[in-house]
Amino acid sequence: KAGVTQTPRYLIKTRGQQVTLSCSPISGHRSVSWYQQTPGQGLQFLFEYFSETQRNKGNFPGRFSGRQFSNSRSEMNVSTLELGDSALYLCASSLEGAWDLGEQFFGPGTRLTVL
């Protein structure tokens, strides 16, 4: 069974631009969560989507948004990029998003660099 895939793996943008990252979950998984990983803040939860609906959201500004499609693939978008948005963005999928129903499987991440 294929794992979680994220595209692109690396991305370089300049301040003020916007960016879209993509995540394809494991087949059959309906929950997709996004995390931001930086050296200073560590791993922080961005949001979770389940059946095309945002079910949970972390403490990030509105510049960070996401969506999920009917095939469970998810995208996240960051508008008006800032230098501080440089990070590794990780996507994780799970069957239902509930801990007792299965673990989260993480993708390799997208490394975003903002210049």
Name the site residues for another protein (rule: CB under 8 A).
4, 31, 33, 35, 42-45, 48, 50, 55-56, 58, 90, 92, 94, 96-101, 103-109
What's 103's DSSP letter?
-
CB of 48 to another protein, least distance (A): 3
CB of 94 to another protein, least distance (A): 7
Cα distances (Å, whole numbers) of residue 68 to 6, 48, 53, 93, 95: 14, 9, 7, 12, 14
CB of 111 to another protein, least distance (A): 9
Judged by CB, which is closer to another protein: 24, or 31? 31
What's 26's DSSP letter?
P
- Calpha distance 100→16 (Å, rounded): 41
Judged by CB, which is closer to another protein: 21, or 107? 107
What's 25's DSSP letter?
P
CB of 26 to another protein, least distance (A): 12
Sign of CA dihedral 14, 45, 39, 105: negative
Judged by CB, which is closer to another protein: 80, or 96? 96
